[in-house]
Amino acid sequence: MTAQPTAGGPRPPDGAPSPAETGMFAEVSRFFDRAARYSDADPGLLEQIKQCNSVLQLRFPVYNDDGQIEVIEAYRVQHSHHRTPTKGGLRFSMRVDESEIMALAALMTYKCAIVDVPFGGAKGGIRIPSRSSSGFRERATRRYTSELLNKNFIGPSVDVPAPDYGSGEQEMVWIADTYKALRPGQLNAYGCVTGKPVSLHGIPGRLEATGLGVYYGVRECTDQREDMRALGLERGLKGKRVIVQGLGQVGSCAAHFLEEFGDARIVGLLERDGGTYNEGGLNVASVMAHWRVSGSVKDYPLGTPVATPDEGLELECDILVPAALENAITAENAPRIKAKIIAEAANGPVTADAEAILTERGVFLIPDIYLNAGGVTVSYFEWIKNLSHISFDRMQKRHEQVDRHEILDTIEDLTGRQLGDARRSALTAGHGEIDYVYSALDDTMTVAYRQIHEVWKSKGMEDLRTAALYFAISRVAAAYESQGIFP
């Protein structure tokens, strides 16, 4: 019932293009080729980095809600083994195809390299409706996990899935539980997957990690005075007009943090059925609350209705954050985009043809392979926690509190002034695990942006995406070269 893993998936009929030559993977390959021109790595090594190492196509039976057998199509792609385990999300969607999963696995390799987490890239997909019943999703998820185990495509040191479009904490629990049941006695079993709830060996901050990473990345971008001057913008996020397309976990969190931490003005929020726009600014929490009750943001009373998300992408703003699915901005609508900065919170929201048009028009793009790497960064922290079997704050929180009390006691003795109980309590509270997660993610995104920005400027590359890919390719190539190639 299952197909064997191959380097390129099942072969197409004679004369038909392969998945590597079509769809989203072809788009990613175009970006790769552009960056690879700057590399002095061996051409054969560049070809190795570009292609997917292993593509697993699966078909397996699952009982549907009517008690009938339904054959499910699914994929797991491991793009690069320069570092292991491989790492990448699992999406549930009827739109899943081989080219898309290959492309997303490749992007994961480059993301991991840019933010310097020790994973190769991977991705998975199951072709079922994202709104299937819980029972059907559970049966499909558990069967998928067992199929991966049979092919040695999952494990804490092999390949570690995570949430993606259409999946979340519940699916990750089913994967972990199935893995643990089929691999009894394995000490690190919960490290087979990340994005688990905190109650089951997850880590605080993982749910909002990608959106928070988007905020950190956009903040760092707008902090570059010369880049902002070239766009006719002031330095910093404060007051900048932002439109966010897609109000899932990534988009809603990005909008919240851009508003709350960055003091940006959120002027537009878009979903599948349309959106709402207010030049004076929207309250993100209020719009989200309205959406949860009414099921739509179009009729939000303090905004102007936007008929379609495509129409909303073309409205006036300084920063556009596409946070839904790929190919939101194409050669067709790119000439009408009014944003000065496009922050790619989704995977592949701007096609190669569209990017050429936008770059020619002077639009600044923050690439997805950097900007939405917050999720895999915090997944890395969760994986470390699962392997070490201890939270990041447990060994030092109390020690921090004692040290701070001693410092405050000394200050009070020297000044003769006493702090109130509330003030002392606030100053002596030790860091919780989420504080370490936020701080480490902030540092990771900040350092990575400055590194790719330096590459962009020093090498005079055409755009930040090319610089980011070149930076990633260089790191992957260095790993391969260090290991050597077996004769």
Q: Provide the annotated active-site residues.
A: 123
The SS3 assignment for 21 reads: helix
Q: Which residues, at least 6 apart from 240, have a Cβ–Cβ distance to it below 8 Å?
A: 222, 233, 264, 265, 318, 319
Q: Give the phi and the psi of residue 115 in degrees, each rounded to 5.
A: -95, 5
Question: Could you give the CA distance from residue 322 to residue 254 in angstroms, rounded to a whole number?
Answer: 10
Axis-axis angle for helices 374-388, 98-114 (nearest 10): 70
Question: Could you give the CA distance from residue 307 to residue 297 in angstroms, rounded to a whole number?
Answer: 10
The SS3 assignment for 16 reads: coil
In 67-78, which positions are buried (b, 16+ CB within 10 angstroms) versus exposed (e)?
A: eeeeebbbbbbb
Question: Could you give the CA distance from residue 376 to residue 121 in angstroms, rounded to a whole number?
Answer: 10
Owner of token pair 């997805």: 368
- DSSP per-residue codes, 284-309: HHHHHHHHHHHS-STT-TTSEEES-H
Written as one letter, the residue type at 93 is S
How big, in percent rounded to 5, are the helix, strand and coil portions of the chain?
50, 15, 35
Question: Could you give the CA distance from residue 269 to residue 455 in angstroms, rounded to a whole number?
Answer: 33
Q: How many CB atoms lie within 10 A of CB 347?
A: 24
Question: Could you give the CA distance from residue 479 to residue 29 in angstroms, rounded to a whole number?
Answer: 21
Question: Could you give the CA distance from residue 63 to residue 315 in angstroms, rounded to a whole number?
Answer: 46
Q: What is the 3-state secondary structure (H, E, C) of 306-326?
A: ECCHHHHHCCCCCEEEECCCC
Owner of token pair 């996990």: 145
Q: Which pair of structure tokens corresponds to residue 51? A: 């292609």
Q: Which of 264, 232, 270 is nearest to 252 (CA)?
A: 270
Residue 441 region, left (φ>0) first, then alpha (ψ -120 to 50), else beta?
A: alpha
Question: Could you give the CA distance from residue 91 to residue 129 in angstroms, rounded to a whole number?
Answer: 10
E strand or H helix that includes residue 472 = helix 464-483
Residue 26 C-alpha from the chain's centroid: 20
